[in-house]
A and B are shown apart, each in its own frame.
Chain A
Amino acid sequence: MSAIIRNSLVRAARPSATAALGYRAASTHAISNPTLANIEKRWEGLPMQEQAELWMALRDRMKENWTEMTIQEKKAAYWIAFGPHGPRSLPPPGETQKVVLYTVIGLVASFVIFASMRMFAKPPPATMTKEWQEATDEFLKVSTLSRRRRPPLLSVVANPHPPLQAQKSDPLTGISSESRAGSHVQSPSSKA
């Protein structure tokens, strides 16, 4: 019993949108200006029910002669149908700045990672010097000793005139040929 009374009280306290619009009785009457005033700002805040009621009212008005629609009704009908809300809403303000900001943050972070990795890296390998590569060329053209007793490469650098024995690697087109093509020298000198 009390629930019924409360429900009816709630209903009485909140006039339904239908009653407020007052169009059901006479749909040919223009929708009042206060109902449509500033609809562009209010539309998204309206409850679904009121949105539906208002749109239905406009639909009824659009069934009449369009020349008799007020400019407010035309604006509201157009805005509700094609205005920038819902799927047509404009991008939120400051979106570009946000994208730029986060991109810059990402670039800075990746640069920090890159720089710190480089800072803790080992020095470049000893083979990547002009001297070592020249020695490699020399070694391939004229080898040192027999295969079993080949000294490590570094000794070639240390001693430019080791006991030589022709290795003649790649003799037709490469390092040992007339053209001397295929040199391994590619790095700057370590003394530079």
Chain B
Amino acid sequence: MRSEHSEESFEEFSARYEKEFDGVQDVFELQRNLNNAFAYDLVPSPSVLSAALRAARRVNDFPTAVRVFEGIKAKVENTGQYQQYLDELKPLREELGIALKEDLYPEETN
């Protein structure tokens, strides 16, 4: 039997979370949305992630911005994909001055 609810497409997912992150007003909302966005069986698109990073900047939460990249690293399948995300988000990352955890704690990289 088919579900009454239609599956959300990746584009709809991205649009929904971009909207969510654009509306974020405090750290709690930011982290709640990040937890939700990273709970799916997919890696959020760079547009969603940049919205999240801008939200982190807006609520002045530097550690969570670093954590976003940790989340990407945990979600992607291999280092190549992680590197693609890093390349894609590099301009924004440098604009906002977000360091990677690998840069902050190079001895603990795994």
Q: List residues of chain A with CB under 8 Å of any chain B CB.
A: 59, 62-63, 65-69, 71, 74-75, 77-78, 80-82
Contacts and interface: CB of A to CB of B under 8 A. Distances in A.
B28 to A, nearest CB: 13
Given A66-B98, A78-B62, A82-B63, 11 more contacts: A62-B61, A66-B62, A66-B96, A67-B96, A67-B97, A69-B97, A74-B104, A75-B104, A81-B64, A81-B67, A82-B70
Contacts, number: 43
12 contacts: A59-B60, A62-B60, A62-B62, A66-B57, A66-B62, A66-B96, A66-B98, A69-B62, A69-B97, A78-B101, A81-B63, A82-B63
B76 interface: no
Nearest to B94: A67
Contact of B66 (A63, A71, A78): A78
Contact of A78 (B96, B97, B104): B104
Contacts of A80: 63
Chain B at the A interface: mostly helix, strand, loop or mixed?
helix
A68 B97 contact: yes
Given A62-B60, A66-B57, A81-B64, A75 B105 contact: yes
B86 interface: no
Given A66-B57, A71-B104, A77 B63 contact: yes
Interface in B60-78: 60-67, 70
A81 to B, nearest CB: 3
B51 interface: no
Nearest to A84: B108
Contacts of A78: 62-63, 66, 99, 101, 104
Q: Residue among A62, A66, A68, A74 with the most chain B CB within 10 A?
A: A66
B48 to A, nearest CB: 20
A74 B93 CA distance: 14
A44 B70 CA distance: 24
Interface string B71-110: 0000000000000000000000010111101001100000
Contacts of A82: 63, 66-67, 70
B91 to A, nearest CB: 13
Nearest to A66: B97
A75 B63 CA distance: 9
Contacts of A65: 97
A62 B64 CA distance: 11
Q: Residue among B64, B98, B104, B105 with the most chain A CB within 10 A?
A: B104
Nearest to A59: B60
Closest 8 CB pairs of A and B: A67-B97, A81-B63, A66-B97, A78-B63, A62-B60, A62-B62, A63-B60, A75-B104
